[in-house]
Amino acid sequence: MSGAVPSLPTRGDAVLANLRLIDGITPDEQEGLAIVVRDGRIAEIVPQADAGPDATDLGGAYVMPGLINMHTHFSLSLPGPGGDAVSALEPHELALHMADGARRTLLSGVTTVRCVAEKGGADFALRRAIEAGHVPGPRIFTAGRALCCTGGHGHDADDTVECDGADAFARGVRSQVKAGADLIKLMISGGIAGEHEQITTPQLTRDEMAAAISTAHAWGRKVTAHAGPAAIIAEAIELGLDCVEHGYELTPEVAAVMAARGVALVPTLVVTRAGAFFDDLGVPPWMQERSLGAGPRHLASYRYALEAGVDVLLGSDMPPFWDFEGTSAVVRELEHMQAGGLAASGVVHAATAAPARWLDADDRVGVLAPGRFADLIAMPADPSADIAALRGIDLVMKGGVVVRDDAGRTGARR
């Protein structure tokens, strides 16, 4: 071998034809078109007749934007032996563990993630490595380490920073911005994974929330919050919160306020329906009971949000690629969103264009239109008719580079 050994390609060229386009903008599928990709971005969408003789024939597949998972933890460590094994990893081992998770996430059809609490700053190194083409993975927007109170939700892992008092929370925000965070995450209540708390336990004072949110906004960062009870969510919304994670116990009244203020919800429905996943990790009975027991109320909260017109966004919390109930965890989450009352076309929107808009990145990702990155997935069936079609994802492209092609239509293989 002679010459330099190249990094993984991060931008490619392609012409994709014979497809049914779900672009994330137009509600209905479009036929008779071809997608022209140059240097990683969609250059133009042209009539099929103009595709040229070298176009790749996708055989009538449905093509849509790559999924955007807004609640991802590459360093997740829940209570139990499985999580303990992750917590015990040395920094170098943790980086490799997270890189493998990023690779598997991309192959599952998730081309962009929002990380909402990762250990030790490894997410920033992982993002740089992916961008440089050293390792494969999705585009990463990250909150860095989440902020909690002393003993608060997630305090026992290195993916949080314990803060007490308004000044400490302001410093906590600045510390994550300094590290490179794109957004800030607050732990404002208890949850299902804290042994010495309840979902309904309020954990931050009004002054602490106000200091964190105002500081983040001053630095141009949105704020999302791990949150369960309606009362604490309502208070945080009044102070300017931008997004709610989980929302286990919303009320119609609080959902209406969320809709009026433009506060999004990432429902993570799968986490209260994840018994088999918990069994895989050896999660203790107290957490399983709390999680699965919260399921009916969690679903009711989600339906309140839909009825109020809240913008709901895809987020699995579980590793997106996890083999779960016959598909991946991210597809299972989307199926729960549809079963809970959101039409399949709305679920597609919640997994693509809506998250991109929240991230202020809809000029780059989330839709298939000229100027955007060529991040897309393809499958034989129509996901806008039934989101279960995503169980058949057989092609994944990121930045014009095919990273998975089960059918071999582009000459690449998974």
Classify burial at 35, counting beta carbons within 10 Å of its beta carbon; exposed 0-12, middle 13-18, buried 19 or more.
buried
pTM score of the predicted model: 0.96
Q: What is the pLDDT of residue 2?
A: 56
d(C-alpha 32, C-alpha 279), whole Å: 47
- CA torsion 151-117-253-27 (nearest 10°) is -170
Domains and CATH numbers, the chain: 14-66+366-405 (2.30.40.10), 67-358 (3.20.20.140)
Cα dihedral 115, 379, 313, 190 sign: negative
Classify burial at 173, counting beta carbons within 10 Å of its beta carbon; exposed 0-12, middle 13-18, buried 19 or more.
buried
Structure tokens at 390: 């995503």
| Segments in 312-352 forming alpha helices (H) | 329-339, 344-350
Residues in the chain predicted with pLDDT less than 70, given as ranges, are 1-3, 412-414
Structure tokens at 14: 């392609």
d(C-alpha 45, C-alpha 92), whole Å: 43
Q: What is the pLDDT of residue 119?
A: 96
Q: What is the pLDDT of residue 412?
A: 56
Q: What is the pLDDT of residue 414?
A: 43
Q: How far is CA 48 from CA 30, 34, 39, 379, 384, in A?
A: 11, 5, 21, 19, 22
Classify burial at 275, counting beta carbons within 10 Å of its beta carbon; exposed 0-12, middle 13-18, buried 19 or more.
middle
d(C-alpha 380, C-alpha 60), whole Å: 7
